[in-house]
Amino acid sequence: ELKVEQNPLFLSMQEGKNYTIYCNYSTTSDRLYWYRQDPGKSLESLFVLLSNGAVKQEGRLMASLDTKARLSTLHITAAVHDLSATYFCAVEEEYGNKLVFGAGTILRVKS
Amino acid sequence: EAQVTQNPRYLITVTGKKLTVTCSQNMNHEYMSWYRQDPGLGLRQIYYSMNVEVTDKGDVPEGYKVSRKEKRNFPLILESPSPNQTSLYFCASSPYLGSGTTYEQYFGPGTRLTVT
């Protein structure tokens, strides 16, 4: 059974600092997604990672996927307040047609 | 505008009173799915559908039913709601690429359900 673990679950950052959110999963998969959710809102797709070694960057966020280690990272560079949100990783079950989400990381950027 | 819509957005109901939450997408996506979101648990999949008349259970299907009679619609039915089904519900859709793979999912705005 596919299980997805994110850590940390809560992250309080100072503006301008760097940090990384980790997403580990338990069974083989090479399709992983990162989503952002603002309070009271729906989920917005950030990154789609479809193969081992995939790296995607958008602004101050960079996501990578290591399928051998079953690990994805979301790196935040020089955090700004606008990045405050909850971030979810989601892993697609291989041949299972299902998407399993991590518990989410609540990110708060303090000025 | 490409979108997934859900109705109602907010619903307060009583135990045992049947309800339906509608979901519709205008992107011609084959794959549709329902999730519930609870604090500290992330999103958990309730049911999904890979195409018309093809549905399957997700991780938490108990107490829910779905149907997929048309490609664009995927309603979620609670035959006899209970307080433990109080949650935030999201519908999502995506293209289906074959061989058991989909692509990024597009989420609806959410339906906040309270069962008293």
Average pLDDT over residues B74-91: 97
- Cβ separation of A98 and B48 shorter than 8 Å? yes
Q: Concatenated DSSP letters for B17-55?
A: --EEEEEEESS--SEEEEEEEETTTEEEEEEEEEETTEE
Residue type, B76: L
pLDDT in the model for residue B100: 59
Average pLDDT over residues A16-44: 93
**Which pair of structure tokens corresponds to residue B38?**
């609870």
Average pLDDT over residues A89-96: 83
* % residues pLDDT > 70 (chain A): 98
How does residue A50 score in pLDDT terms, banded at 50, 70 and 90?
confident
CA A7/CA B67 separation, integer angstroms: 36
Single out the residue of B93, B85, B92 nearest to residue B112, CA to CA. Answer: B85
How does residue B13 score in pLDDT terms, banded at 50, 70 and 90?
very high
- d(CA A108, nearest CA chain B) in Å: 16
Single out the residue of A67, A90, A64 nearest to residue A76, CA to CA. Answer: A64
Question: With a CB-CB cutoff of 8 Å, which residues 59-78 of chain A face chain B?
Answer: none
pLDDT in the model for residue B88: 97
pLDDT above 80 (res A110): yes
